[in-house]
Structure 1
Amino acid sequence: MDGLSSMQTLEALSSLLSTRDENDDDEDPKIVQASAKLGPGNIGPPASSVKPIKEATSTYDKQNSKAIWDEDEVPEGAQFDDLTDPRPEPEYEIILKQSVGTEDLFLGMSRKDPSSMCCEGMLVRVKLPGTKASEVVLDVKETFLDLRTPTHKLGLHLPHPVHRQEGKARFITEKEELEITLLLNRPMDCINRA
């Protein structure tokens, strides 16, 4: 604060803020000369007394300085996007499921509602005409489902994260349809379902 209270700084500030007419003859030549040398950047303590600001340390440290991006920055399933693959995408539908009892339906005893936040599972139905069960290759990640057959290819980004190891798949030969049942994995489920 000692730099702000100096007389020279106050005179410079007063001359910068003054609204005198340029043709006034009663100006003090010392003040005019000082204001000609000083500008808005000179107000305050001299630059030599200002401590340099330390560069902020980031919590993110790159492991490999030559890497363009981190593995966490690449969306899951991006390696399966093949734009040159001519196989069509099959018809599919996603159905969110929740287990509801009579106490939920008629009495409203639990805090369940029809929203997707109360759902425990997800059912993905994929129509695969002309496909046998032995030809289906299925890979389920936490947020991505990869399904491939000789005639179809489906790369599906799931609307909610799932437990990848706890899913079930069943091929219905009569309908030529694959049903994939997945258990949802959301971080606040223990609170929402309590």
Structure 2
Amino acid sequence: MASTFSFSQLQALSQLLTPAQEEDELEEQPAQGACSLEPGHIGPPKGSNPTDSSPKQPADTKMIWAEDDVPEGSEFEDIWDPRQQPEYEIVFRQRVGTEDVFLGMSRKDPSTACCEDMVIKIKLPDCKPADLSLDIKERFLALRAPHYKLGLHLPHPVDSKNGKARFVSNTHTLEVTLTMKREFDFINFA
């Protein structure tokens, strides 16, 4: 097979890849030689998407973008906030029983894919529980304290309505326990 293509072969390839409605537009343009034909001429012109006939527009005409265009948790990311980010650790936890440990009767293994809970341990020295503000979304955790701020994108979606948080006074650590929501958990843990 030849490694180079002639002008007529490139033009034939372009006609195969161009939709039928745009062939008339290409025929109106006179052929000026091989130097005017570029890779950008193959296929439909820029800006036209044959699969999407109507562009998405926000319902309110004064809105610049739709709510789906803004990533979750972006309202908490403030680069001008001088508060420092606290140390944190994400630990995955499984719910196992004796049938899992001794008999191996379930499909669980030691990997994080078989974990049901996510525990986030946040070290907050010199903080009191009354000073903390915690907001949890499906994929984002936001913590505000007088000297600390944390905006954490979570590695898995979580059940934001049914979480637990406790403050350990001895170590000044906030432990947030969240149940993970994964698509195929009913198959993995059946």
Question: Offset at 1:73?
Answer: 3.5
Question: Offset at 1:102?
Answer: 1.5
> Using a 3 Å threshold, how does the CA distance of structure 1 residues 110 and 59 change in structure 2: closer, same or farther?
farther
> Using a 3 Å threshold, how does the CA distance of structure 1 residues 97 and 75 change in structure 2: closer, same or farther?
same
Equivalent residue, structure 1, for 2:21: 52
**Equivalent residue for 1:144, pick from 140, 143, 146:** 140
SS class of match (1:52): helix
Task: For 1:110, give the aligned amino acid.
Answer: S
CA–CA distance in structure 2, aligned partners of residues 111 and 51 of structure 1: 54
Q: Which moved more, 1:88-97 or 1:69-78?
A: 69-78
Residues 81-160 of structure 1 mapped to structure 2, 5 A cutoff = 81-160=77-156
Task: For 1:88, give the aligned amino acid.
Answer: Q
CA–CA distance in structure 1, aligned partners of residues 134 and 54 of structure 2: 35
Equivalent residue, structure 2, for 1:190: 186
Equivalent residue, structure 1, for 2:177: 181
Equivalent residue, structure 2, for 1:34: none
CA–CA distance in structure 2, aligned partners of residues 51 and 146 of structure 1: 53
Which structure 2 segments of 5+ residues have no match? 1-5, 13-18, 23-43
**Equivalent residue for 2:57, pick from 60, 63, 74:** 63
CA–CA distance in structure 1, aligned partners of residues 71 and 158 of structure 2: 15
SS class of match (2:109): coil
Q: TM-score, normalised by structure 2?
A: 0.70
CA–CA distance in structure 2, aligned partners of residues 187 and 99 of structure 1: 18
Question: Offset at 1:88?
Answer: 0.7
Equivalent residue, structure 1, for 2:76: 80
Which structure 1 segments of 5+ residues have no match? 1-16, 18-38, 44-49
> Using a 3 Å threshold, how does the CA distance of structure 1 residues 59 and 97 change in structure 2: closer, same or farther?
farther
> Using a 3 Å threshold, how does the CA distance of structure 1 residues 118 and 88 change in structure 2: closer, same or farther?
same
Residues 16-35 of structure 1 mapped to structure 2, 5 A cutoff = none
SS class of match (2:78): coil
| Structure index of larger Rg | 1
SS class of match (2:113): helix
Equivalent residue, structure 2, for 1:40: 8
Task: For 2:179, give the aligned amino acid.
Answer: L
Q: TM-score, normalised by structure 1?
A: 0.69
Per-residue CA deviations over 1:128-165 (Å, capped at 9, x if unaligned) read: 11111100000000000000000100111111110000
CA RMSD of aligned residues (A): 2.7
